[in-house]
Structure 1
Amino acid sequence: MTNLPFKAVAVDVDGTFENDDKEYDHQMFKQILHQLHQHGAHFIIASGRPAGRLIEDFSEFIDSVDLVADNGAVLVRDGKIIRTTTFSKKGILQFVDYLRRRYPGSTKTLLVSGVKHSYFLKSTPPKFKRSHHYFYPNSIEIDDFSQIPADDQYTKLTVDYPSKVRRELEYGFNSRSVEKVNVTTSGWNYMDIIRQNVNKAAGLKEFLAYLDVPRNELIAFGDGENDIEMLKLAGLSYAMANGQDSVKKIAKFIAPSNNDNGVFKVLNKYLNKA
């Protein structure tokens, strides 16, 4: 039994666990992870990043953490994908066509995330190509989205477009399509499009059930709107000081910013008390 008030930790990555330079203190994480495991607590990374990127980011800890990737569309345990929630190729192309007609120019920054590879247009501006290649290391440039292969599994679409339209986009597409979507944002203009009812909380519920940890014994950290369901799920919820106001309103506590090792400071506080 643990003296900690939680048995599982869930953290977002960008703007939460990592600083603005996309870095984290590996040695400090190693120490905290060791202490958490001594208390019987589990650690779960819950991010909008794809599984391939997260496996690289946490390569030295991959046997000690679980991953909720693509905002809950992909679950990874022991470095292996154990579940995916996907779109059909037809559904992807229907969404791309809707974007192209309803929001002209939006597909220039669009990325389609698959399990094998991710895909974006050769005509994508260089700024977004660099971002796509970093976050999606298995990405491929194509001439047209009709070229995405039929044998991949498509988990998410990402587009750089003013996120104020996300509800309009979600409602407009869902009123026309059998494959319904959930449109979320991590705090920038980037919108993530995943299957309806898919989110970080849904992925975490599966891990909590597997680990036999009740939701009131989960502590979660986040900064963006794609973290809201996860923070609502957790017994202990922390919004980062740098987080969006909408996230701070629903979290029970505020953690120091991502540039001030906020996650580590909060966890160390609990570990020192234990």
Structure 2
Amino acid sequence: MTYKLIALDVDGTLLNDEHQLSEANKEAIAEVTRRGSRIVLCTGRNPKNAIPIMKEMGLTGYVLADNGAVTVAVEDSQVLHQYGMDARGLDPYIAYCRERGIHFDVNTAFDLYVDNVEHLAQEAMYMYEHLELVPATLPSWEEVAEPIVKFTAFAQREVIEQAIKDWGLWDPVFTVTRSGEFFIDIMHPQASKGNALKELAARLDIPREEVLAIGNYFNDISMLTYAGLGIAVDNSPVEVKAAADAVTLSNNENGVRAALLEYALN
């Protein structure tokens, strides 16, 4: 099978635990693109820190950012598609986070807002600096000019697990997704990596059977199950492996390279 569209998750999949892109993965990606496949990053990251990874690999095309809530062209940062949320519906989640001291941020396609930028916790400051993102203080909803595409809560594991349980009992206005060990993402009910990948494949006239996806976490399940071939890296939770068609090496063992060699370059 020739896979014309290959979707890669970034953190925990394409990058190792040091958040580095290995030369081995980079070379395998270069080879599949030479053979005519398109690479798309499908990530929970903001376009601002996803597009540079595409450029580091010498690629153009698209990134499906914010867990599929925003599709952006690499060359000119044009937003091709986005799932905007009803911002007022986020008020109960913001109140919940404030009452419990849970850090949160609110994302448009390119802007990032926090509750109070002057009082960021050290862990949050480190996270944003590491991701090369500069947050601003959240204004009133009327002052946010662009659609809200993602709300993220960040806390210790046990706090996040309790929030997942509590929010699961609320009216399902939004999609609530565990996007990392310490993160919950809340998005438009139709926003997911799988739907974004499906929409892009249709735009490019690529059938589902010719789409390959590689991921590692719960927010990747929708794209792994949409793709003609969904591959989980070995560091994935057991539920993600069960949802995939195949399992490859871990992100620290160049799992993307191993998967591309076995399924796209054989």
Once residues 80 and 209 of structure 2 are traced to their aligned partners in structure 1, the CA distance between those partners, rounded to angstroms, is 25
Q: Which residue of 2 aligns with 1:155?
A: 149
Q: Is the 8 A contact 1:35 1:271 kept in 2?
A: no
TM superposition shift of 1:48: 0.5
Residue 18 (structure 1) aligned to one of 6, 15, 20: 15
Q: Which residue of 2 aligns with 1:250?
A: 243
| Aligned-residue RMSD, C-alpha | 2.3
Q: Which residue of 2 aligns with 1:240?
A: 233
Residue 214 (structure 2) aligned to one of 221, 225, 234: 221
Once residues 55 and 216 of structure 1 are traced to their aligned partners in structure 2, the CA distance between those partners, rounded to angstroms, is 26
Once residues 124 and 231 of structure 1 are traced to their aligned partners in structure 2, the CA distance between those partners, rounded to angstroms, is 35
Matched, 1:97 2:95: yes
Q: Is the 8 A contact 1:187 1:244 kept in 2?
A: no
Q: Which residue of 2 aligns with 1:125?
A: 121
| Letter of the 1:117 counterpart | D
Once residues 148 and 261 of structure 1 are traced to their aligned partners in structure 2, the CA distance between those partners, rounded to angstroms, is 45
TM superposition shift of 1:207: 0.9
TM superposition shift of 1:145: 5.7
Q: Which residue of 2 aligns with 1:177?
A: none
| Letter of the 2:85 counterpart | F
| Letter of the 1:13 counterpart | V
Report the TM-score when normalising by structure 2.
0.87
| Letter of the 2:127 counterpart | S
Residue 76 (structure 1) aligned to one of 72, 77, 83: 72
Matched, 1:48 2:44: yes
Q: Is the 8 A contact 2:233 2:248 kept in 1?
A: yes
Q: Which residue of 1 aligns with 2:201?
A: 208
Q: Is the 8 A contact 2:32 2:265 kept in 1?
A: no
Once residues 101 and 3 of structure 2 are traced to their aligned partners in structure 1, the CA distance between those partners, rounded to angstroms, is 46
TM superposition shift of 1:5: 3.4
- Summarize the Cα distance change of 1:261–1:148 in structure 2 as closer, same or farther, 3 Å threshold: farther
Once residues 136 and 188 of structure 1 are traced to their aligned partners in structure 2, the CA distance between those partners, rounded to angstroms, is 21
Once residues 138 and 158 of structure 1 are traced to their aligned partners in structure 2, the CA distance between those partners, rounded to angstroms, is 15
Q: Which residue of 2 aligns with 1:66?
A: 62
Once residues 160 and 239 of structure 2 are traced to their aligned partners in structure 1, the CA distance between those partners, rounded to angstroms, is 14
Once residues 226 and 141 of structure 2 are traced to their aligned partners in structure 1, the CA distance between those partners, rounded to angstroms, is 39
Q: Which residue of 2 aligns with 1:265?
A: 258
Q: Return 5+ residue gaps in structure 2 as ranges.
A: none
Once residues 55 and 33 of structure 2 are traced to their aligned partners in structure 1, the CA distance between those partners, rounded to angstroms, is 18
TM superposition shift of 1:84: 1.5
Residue 181 (structure 1) aligned to one of 165, 174, 179: 174
TM superposition shift of 1:208: 0.5
Once residues 142 and 134 of structure 2 are traced to their aligned partners in structure 1, the CA distance between those partners, rounded to angstroms, is 14
Of 32-41 and 45-54, deviating more is 32-41
Of 119-128 and 192-201, deviating more is 119-128
Q: Return 5+ residue gaps in structure 1 as ranges.
A: 175-179
Residue 172 (structure 1) aligned to one of 170, 173, 182: 170
Matched, 1:111 2:105: yes
TM superposition shift of 1:229: 0.7
Cα offsets for 1:161-213 (capped at 9, x unmatched): 43433253144153xxxxx2111112312111111121000000111001111
Once residues 25 and 32 of structure 2 are traced to their aligned partners in structure 1, the CA distance between those partners, rounded to angstroms, is 12
Q: Is the 8 A contact 2:224 2:231 kept in 1?
A: yes
The alignment-based identity, stated in percent, is 27
